[in-house]
């Protein structure tokens, strides 16, 4: 290959020398002229096309039409920006900016508010209601980052509006289990999103106060008979109406016939009591 | 959402396993993007084969020199078509030439393509055929006379000096053409190799693996075309040429397989977090197309066939049959190589936790019929080129020149 390259270079040099000296091979070969004309035509064509088709401001700011920025700026504004909201609602914005929602813009929940800021009394922004607006970010999805608050809507206080317990401007969970979850975190997390979420651990586990100091020496009691679950789930049971300020009457508590249901098995042989799936 | 599209999505969802992100259910790069590297590979491979005769002076390959150039041209003309069919709006394609974006490898493809088409391939073919075109024109009648006049750009000079200049030009362009051919197909590998988010593609070896698979595919395609066209013309096959083609095909296959094995072993040894999903991919969704078709049928079996036929005392008839079958298998293997890269790279989730499936449509813009059309089109163009620029020995008007002396 090197030999061939050398040969080509030498031939080219000889030809150029001959042409310079004005020898008989001075004339540029006709085929080169013909090709040159074609390439020149393509080059001129490209130049003319560029003149016609490349927008005037293309490349002024980057690899795009700079005038596009101005064209976009002329579009009608729909979002006002949180600073506009803060001008009239400083308390709400202040609360929000100190909470977990500090990076969520007002208009992310309340919708585009430009009309409202122009005519505050006539056009009101949206007031999100129900669960769906919150679930847009907080519905359980495996791809969300670990630790991001997520709920399974069927199991997390079904039918209740989120704002019944959470303040959207300061969404810190209203009550979080502190003591038992310090050691029994997995159980606490399962229970927190289960229908048993309103029940304190002590409802089922009779726990001596010493357990917190000497957990192995003072073990809490576990239910050991079917009748215990029957306190709430037996057909004729009359469970308390309110536990930890949660109205249990809104729940459709599953009821069973303790005598015929499940034969001789105890409840926890089929149901995981910290996340009982049957409804 | 379009109900038809929704139904498609639903049927694709049935094949999803594990966890995948919503935008990964459907593959964005379809069979057309499989065809694109397949075609460009054939172009680069065929050109490198042609350069063997001109630059490396492998005289046995002389019967396939012009055929290889025309094959490269036919495939090069079709190469961007799958991209245009995939992207839509082919009328906008020229805009990448008007506003060159050097920060985008994909946008620079236009320039690589234009350089290769206009400066390398067309010029080499033109210089090589020019004297013949002028002489054919003198004996031509009717439309062909006009066609040859247009193709020769009105050239008339067939003086020994002009013909000598043509030869030098061809040699020079071929030398420039080799790195250009490497650039053309190495670039295609670069596009995939530089997608760092995709562990199946992201590898610096990708351009080199692509390049050698291109050489393999180009040699085998020219072998097939030489075989078929010679038989159709009821001429005698040049066994020296076929044997040399088979040898080069075997050597290229060995290098290609070694590079692929190196890539595979390297991934296995690195064992990055993606290795588990890639293992599922290789032994699951790609088992047939990768292990069976690409490696076994497309590489190992042709290697054994070629080695057995090339280095044995078999009769010529038997040898060429084996070469033909081996080259055919290589084509199937190379197509599945492209398939495994393009489709395989999109079958697993970026979460590395799930797999999806590719559902090939029959009709539509990116369907099987369009794909078949794009695969058949180069052969139709080649048939036309063979008619206009016959590469056969008997069509030549001047004898092959003796070796040009060093000046």
Chain A hits for B155, Cβ within 8 Å: 30-31, 34
pLDDT at res. B264: 92
Cβ contact B99–A63 (<8 Å): yes
Give the nearest partner residue to A4 out of B97, B101, B171, using CB atoms. Answer: B171
- Is residue A254 domain-shared with residue A204, that is, in the same domain? yes
The span from the CA of B164 to the CA of B172, in Å, is: 12
pLDDT in tens, A197-227: 888 888 889 888 888 777 778 889 988 888 8
Chain B hits for A2, Cβ within 8 Å: none
Length of chain A: 279
DSSP letters for A61-80: SSSSBTHHHHHHHTSPP---
Tokens of A107: 């208009």
- Total beta-carbon pairs less than 8 A apart between chain A and chain B: 77
- Asked if the C-beta of B114 comes within 8 angstroms of chain A's C-beta atoms, the answer is no
Asked if residue A212 is part of any domain, the answer here is yes
Give the nearest partner residue to B55 out of A4, A10, A31, using CB atoms. Answer: A4
Nearest residue on chain B to A11, judged by CA atoms? B407
Asked if residue A96 is part of any domain, the answer here is yes
Task: Indicate the pTM of the whole model.
Answer: 0.72
More confident residue, A158 or B279: B279
pLDDT at res. A184: 81
The helix (run of H) or strand (run of E) holding residue B380 is helix B368-388
Asked if residue A112 is part of any domain, the answer here is yes
Best residue in B19, B103, B155, B158 for a mutation probing chain A (most A CBs within 10 Å)? B155
Among A186-200, B9-23, B52-66, the range with the most confident prediction by mean pLDDT is B52-66
The answer to which of A38-52, A248-262, B225-239 has the lowest mean pLDDT is A248-262
Cβ contact A7–B404 (<8 Å): yes
Sign of CA dihedral A207, A210, A215, A217: negative
- Asked if the C-beta of B239 comes within 8 angstroms of chain A's C-beta atoms, the answer is no
Asked if residue A194 is part of any domain, the answer here is no
Chain B hits for A32, Cβ within 8 Å: 165
Q: Please state the domain count of chain A.
A: 2
Asked if residue A49 is part of any domain, the answer here is no
The span from the CA of B260 to the CA of B333, in Å, is: 13
Q: What is the mean pLDDT of residues A140-146?
A: 77
Cβ contact A38–B153 (<8 Å): yes
The answer to which of A109-113, A141-145, B16-20, B267-271 has the lowest mean pLDDT is A141-145
Please determine, for residue A72, whether its predicted confidence score (pLDDT) is greater than 90.
yes
Cβ contact A143–B153 (<8 Å): no
Name the β-bridge partners of B144: none
Q: Nearest C-alpha of chain A: how many angstroms from B56? A: 6
The span from the CA of B348 to the CA of B281, in Å, is: 7
Q: Is A203 exposed, middle or buried (0-12, 13-18, 19+ CB in 10 A)?
A: middle
The closest of B142, B111, B147 to B129, measured between CA atoms, is B147
* Model ipTM value: 0.74
pLDDT in tens, B306-361: 999 988 888 999 999 999 999 999 999 999 999 999 999 999 999 998 899 888 88
Asked if residue A232 is part of any domain, the answer here is yes
Chain B hits for A68, Cβ within 8 Å: none
The closest of B196, B153, B210 to B338, measured between CA atoms, is B210
Chain A hits for B154, Cβ within 8 Å: 34
Cβ contact A63–B94 (<8 Å): no
Quick check: B112 and B187 in contact, CB under 8 A? Answer: yes
Cβ contact A11–B407 (<8 Å): yes
Nearest residue on chain A to B167, judged by CA atoms? A8
**Domains in chain B, please, with CATH?**
23-395 (1.20.1630.10)
pLDDT at res. A22: 56
Cβ contact B175–A46 (<8 Å): no
Please determine, for residue B106, whether its predicted confidence score (pLDDT) is greater than 60.
yes
Chain B hits for A38, Cβ within 8 Å: 153
Sign of CA dihedral A162, A164, A169, A172: negative
Coil, helix or strand for A139? strand
pLDDT at res. B402: 45
Write out residues 261-320 of B within 8 Å (CB-CB) of A. none
Structural domain harbouring A217: 199-269
Which H, E and C letters describe B325-363, residue by residue? Answer: HHHHHHHHHHHHHHHHHHCHHHHECCCCCEECCCCCCCC
Cβ contact B99–A1 (<8 Å): no
Interface of A with B (CB under 8 A): 1, 4-8, 10-15, 25, 29-32, 34-35, 38-39, 42, 46, 49-50, 53-54, 58-59, 63, 142-143
- Is residue A215 domain-shared with residue A156, that is, in the same domain? no
Cβ contact B153–A10 (<8 Å): no
Give the nearest partner residue to B154 out of A6, A29, A34, using CB atoms. Answer: A34
- How many C-alpha atoms does A77 have within 13 Å on its Cβ side? 10
Asked if residue A87 is part of any domain, the answer here is yes
Asked if residue A187 is part of any domain, the answer here is no
Task: Quote the percentage of chain A above a pLDDT of 90.
Answer: 28
Q: Nearest C-alpha of chain A: how many angstroms from B153? A: 7
The span from the CA of B149 to the CA of B158, in Å, is: 14
Residue B359 Ramachandran class (φ > 0 left, ψ -120 to 50 alpha, else beta): beta
Cβ contact A30–B155 (<8 Å): yes
The closest of B77, B110, B104 to B92, measured between CA atoms, is B110
């Amino acid at each position: 290959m090197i030999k061939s390259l050398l040969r080509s270079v030498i031939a080219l040099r000889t030809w150029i020398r001959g042409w310079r000296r004005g020898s008989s091979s001075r004339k540029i070969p006709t085929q080169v002229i013909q090709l040159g004309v074609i390439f020149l035509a393509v080059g001129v064509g490209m130049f003319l096309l560029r003149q016609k088709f490349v927008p005037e401001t293309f490349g002024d700011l980057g690899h795009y039409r700079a005038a596009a920025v101005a064209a976009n700026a002329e579009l009608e504004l729909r979002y006002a920006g949180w600073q506009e909201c803060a001008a009239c609602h400083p308390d709400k914005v202040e609360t929000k900016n100190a909470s977990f929602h500090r990076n969520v813009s007002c208009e992310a929940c309340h919708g585009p508010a430009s009309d409202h800021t122009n005519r505050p009394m006539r056009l009101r922004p949206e007031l999100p209601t129900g669960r769906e607006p919150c679930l847009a970010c907080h519905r359980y999805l495996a791809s969300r980052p670990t630790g991001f608050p997520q709920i399974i809507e069927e199991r997390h206080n079904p039918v209740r509006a989120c704002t019944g317990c959470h303040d959207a401007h300061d969404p810190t969970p209203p009550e979080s289990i502190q003591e038992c979850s310090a050691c029994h975190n997995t159980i606490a997390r399962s229970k927190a999103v289960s229908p048993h979420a309103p029940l304190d651990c002590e409802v089922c586990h009779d726990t001596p106060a010493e357990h917190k100091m000497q957990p192995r020496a003072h073990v809490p009691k576990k239910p050991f008979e079917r009748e215990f679950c029957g306190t709430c789930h037996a057909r004729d049971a009359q469970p308390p109406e309110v536990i930890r300020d949660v109205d249990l009457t809104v729940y459709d508590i599953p009821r069973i016939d303790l005598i015929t249901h499940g034969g001789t098995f105890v409840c926890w042989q089929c149901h995981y009591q910290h996340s009982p799936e049957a409804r | 959402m379009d109900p038809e599209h929704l139904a498609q999505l639903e049927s694709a969802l049935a094949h999803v396993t594990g966890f995948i992100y919503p935008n990964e259910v459907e593959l964005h790069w379809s069979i057309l993007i499989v065809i694109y590297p397949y075609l460009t590979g054939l172009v680069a491979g065929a050109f490198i084969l042609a350069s063997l005769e001109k630059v490396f002076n492998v005289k046995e390959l002389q019967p396939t020199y012009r055929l290889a150039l025309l094959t490269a041209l036919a495939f090069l003309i079709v190469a961007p078509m799958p991209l245009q069919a995939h992207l839509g709006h082919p009328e906008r394609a020229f805009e990448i030439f008007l506003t060159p974006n050097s920060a985008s490898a994909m946008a620079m493809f236009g320039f690589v393509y234009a350089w290769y088409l206009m400066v390398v391939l067309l010029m080499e073919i033109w210089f090589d055929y020019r004297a013949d075109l002028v002489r054919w024109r003198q004996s031509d009648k009717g439309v062909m006379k006009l066609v040859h006049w247009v193709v020769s750009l009105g050239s008339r000079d067939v003086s020994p000096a002009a013909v000598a200049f043509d030869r030098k030009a061809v040699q020079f362009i071929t030398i420039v053409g080799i790195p250009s051919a490497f650039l053309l197909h190495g670039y295609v590998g670069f596009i995939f190799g530089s997608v760092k988010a995709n562990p199946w593609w992201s590898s610096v070896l990708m351009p080199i693996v692509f390049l050698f698979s291109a050489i393999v595919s180009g040699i085998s395609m020219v072998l097939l075309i030489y075989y078929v066209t010679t038989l159709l013309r009821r001429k005698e096959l040049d066994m020296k040429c076929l044997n040399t083609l088979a040898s080069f095909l075997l050597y290229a296959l060995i290098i290609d397989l070694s590079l692929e094995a190196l890539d595979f072993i390297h991934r296995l040894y690195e064992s990055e977090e993606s290795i588990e999903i890639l293992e599922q991919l290789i032994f699951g969704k790609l088992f047939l197309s990768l292990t069976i078709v690409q490696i076994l049928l497309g590489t190992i079996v042709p290697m054994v066939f070629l080695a057995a036929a090339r280095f044995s005392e078999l009769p010529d008839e038997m040898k060429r049959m084996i070469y033909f079958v081996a080259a055919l298998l290589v084509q199937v293997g190379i197509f599945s190589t492209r398939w495994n890269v393009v489709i395989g790279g999109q079958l697993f989730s970026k979460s590395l936790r799930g797999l999806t499936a590719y559902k090939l449509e029959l009709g539509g813009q990116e369907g099987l019929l369009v794909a078949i059309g794009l695969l058949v089109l180069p052969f139709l163009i080649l048939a036309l080129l063979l008619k206009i620029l016959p590469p056969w020995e008997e069509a030549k008007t001047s004898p092959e020149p003796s070796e040009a002396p060093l000046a």
